[in-house]
């Protein structure tokens, strides 16, 4: 079943007793929902890893190159890098070792090491042309209109309630209604955190590195 943002629009308006969107217009709901979606991204990032992981397109790294640029447009956080000699088959990929800072040794045939720092993937230059495969977590798809998809079905209650609370507080200036809806926000947030914790049992959280961005878990 498609998880359309229009469902969040309708549920948020029902919490606000504004089913026809007289105050909670599409523009108002979209702005609040985008804020709520950003908060969801932050919340999920606390767990330090994501299941919205992808294998990036293999990138050729010419000899002497010391960074992986450009990063994919939906890049969030690196999970693993592998390398092989250019022209070799995929079964020759070798896992690279993550470090906190780039090694200062003389370039070798292989890249061998990588660092994620200042929002960039960096490595010691190699003396040969290499191909690097990037495994990474990606960002939540941006919600831009009622026909956008939201990606985490279990977050529907949280997104609906938090969107309504933002509108009640910031647009309607109705603190009483906002506080009432906030109880829904807290309950749905607790349920969501419990679900994530149950799904993440046995998986060690990855610590954040230098200036890393949020990490999505879906």
The closest of 63, 55, 113 to 86, measured between CA atoms, is 63
Is 207 domain-assigned?
no
Q: Of 39-48, 93-102, 169-178, where does the model show the most confidence?
A: 169-178
Q: Are residues 161 and 118 in the same domain?
A: no
Rounded Cα gap, residues 168 and 208, in angstroms: 35
Is 177 domain-assigned?
yes
Per the structure, the count of domains in the chain is 2
Answer whether 110's CB lies under 8 Å from 83's CB: yes
Is 74 domain-assigned?
yes
Mean pLDDT of 106-135: 94
Is 169 domain-assigned?
yes
* Residue, of 35 and 56, whose pLDDT is higher: 35
Full-model pTM: 0.66
The predicted-structure confidence for 62-71, as pLDDT tens digits, reads as follows 999 999 999 9
Q: Are residues 35 and 76 in the same domain?
A: no
* Residue, of 137 and 207, whose pLDDT is higher: 137
Pairing relationship of beta strands 97-98 and 113-117 according to DSSP bridges: parallel
Q: Are residues 45 and 58 in the same domain?
A: no
How many CB atoms neighbour CB 198 within 10 A?
8
Q: Is residue 34 predicted with pLDDT exceeding 90?
A: yes
The pLDDT value recorded for residue 56 is 83
Structural domain boundaries enclosing 85: 53-138
The pLDDT value recorded for residue 2 is 57
Is 25 domain-assigned?
yes
């Amino acid at each position: 079943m498609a998880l359309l943002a229009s469902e969040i629009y309708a549920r948020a308006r029902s919490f606000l007793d504004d089913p026809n969107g007289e105050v909670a217009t599409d523009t108002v709901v979209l702005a609040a929902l985008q804020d709520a979606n950003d908060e969801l991204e932050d919340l999920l990032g606390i767990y330090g890893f994501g299941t919205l992981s992808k294998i990036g397109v293999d990138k050729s790294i010419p000899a002497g190159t010391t960074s992986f640029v450009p990063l994919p447009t939906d890049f969030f956080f690196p999970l693993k890098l592998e390398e092989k000699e250019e022209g070799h088959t995929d079964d020759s990929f070798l896992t690279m070792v993550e470090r906190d800072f780039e090694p200062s040794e003389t370039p070798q045939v292989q890249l061998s090491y990588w660092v994620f720092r200042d929002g960039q993937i960096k490595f010691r230059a190699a003396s040969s042309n290499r191909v690097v495969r990037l495994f990474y977590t990606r960002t939540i798809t941006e919600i831009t209109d009622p026909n956008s998809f939201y990606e985490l079905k279990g977050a529907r209650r949280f997104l609906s309630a938090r969107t309504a609370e933002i509108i009640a507080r910031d647009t309607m200036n109705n603190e009483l209604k906002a506080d009432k809806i906030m109880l829904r926000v807290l309950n749905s947030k607790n349920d969501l955190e419990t679900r994530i914790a149950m799904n993440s049992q046995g998986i060690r959280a990855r610590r954040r590195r230098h200036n890393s961005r949020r990490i999505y878990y879906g």
